[in-house]
Structure 1
């Protein structure tokens, strides 16, 4: 196949095929006597694998991987692709943790005692509201689950819990009561903090889960071709 033919078959422009060849995504094409590129079915498969891989992990990582699997030893090449699956799974777990965290406090959003912007609580008020000990709140603070503010009082300094800290404490209390381990709660709290808006709807997180699933599916589609490339490289 010439450049135009493989571009049409792979769904790329002619220039994109040339760029991807130059970047090492596919091996260099054979040149005919006139100097024109001639591509094989393996090149076409490589371009198709790259398309799915780029969807799954992003173009920069995909380009790096397509180059590396052609030069790395078998174990390293396999580990590289396996890591992509692991990262996607971690992203899914993180999103699920954020969903669980928001779901755990979603019911309170419509209640009269739900915290609103500008609210804050002392450690005593928050322990009463949650039904936990002050030592428990201090422990949650020590492992990064709750971040109170320190304020100056006549007696020295004291903890003050603004709305975000109250929300985090409520999430932590709800998840701990549901049997979540501290590490699980840390994952959930981190995920919630990374949301652009802590009040993001469950529907938005469900959409993110679907997007992750589509990326994982694309990674699976590319897998057979990547395995074939790795296997052929190992037997050279």
Structure 2
């Protein structure tokens, strides 16, 4: 990448990058982009390289969030080449893991969808909390937590010592959808929204649409990470590496 080394004022970099002048100064001061040269009067003199680094930071923030992006932009300058490359590689691994989890959750929902709506239940359809926990590979306490959050609605049946939870087919389905979405990284409020849609419309299309959107979002984040990676490779290659072995 042939970068223009001529001096640029902060306002010019701001206009070219889409950040405000203050944001440009803050990102330079915090080490997110390379340090600018200073004039005798103390004014910053940026280059086209800083504009490119800001574009890389924007893409990185899209891919992994602004807090992590700031950390990565600083860290790639601080360690050895192998450490910096490993840091960037780990971001790709994390995104691929998110994608794999979302696809696995989508497959689980497709299985549930294929089972049909299951109108009405019989005793054979119902599961105890121990049976359901074992089927989902979660703890019974997790099922109780999901119940307290309104994600799963078991029935209570009398027992000699009081009562026990019994999960009819609709509750089992809710628990399976909850497990799938939580495994894909969805927060409890997002899962609750999907479960409430399921209860309203008695279908799993909305959770499936949510997972489709998540997979597409991960794809866009991955593309942004690839764009940032080209610039990060230059940043890593340009940095002197006789540093930090304490």
TM-score by length of 1: 0.73
What are the within-5 Å matches in structure 2 for residues 65-144 of structure 1?
65-108=72-115, 110-113=117-120, 125=123, 128-129=124-125, 139-140=134-135, 143-144=138-139
Unmatched 5+ stretches in structure 1: 116-120, 173-185
1:190 aligned partner: 183
Asked if residue 35 in structure 1 is aligned to residue 28 in structure 2, the reply is no
For the structure 1 residues 141 and 103, does the alpha-carbon distance in structure 2 shift closer, same or farther, using more than 3 Å as the test? closer
Deviation sequence 1:73-109 (CA, Å, 0-9, x none): 2222111111111111111111112211211112445
In the alignment, is residue 228 of structure 1 matched against residue 234 of structure 2?
Answer: yes
Structure 2, gaps ≥5 residues long: 1-7, 145-153, 199-205
Question: Which segment drifts farther, 196-205 or 20-29?
Answer: 196-205
Once the two structures are superposed, the pairs formed by residues 156-175 of structure 1 within 5 Å of their partners are 160-161=166-167, 165-167=171-173, 171=176
Q: What SS class does the counterpart of residue 160 from structure 1 fall into?
A: strand
Structural RMSD (CA): 3.4
Aligned twin of 2:151: none
Q: How does 1:20-59 map to 2 (within 5 A)?
A: 20-59=27-66
Deviation at 1:147, TM superposition (A): 3.9
Report how many residues are paired.
Answer: 210
1:168 and 1:189 in contact (8 A); partners too? no
Distance 1:163 1:6 in 2: 60
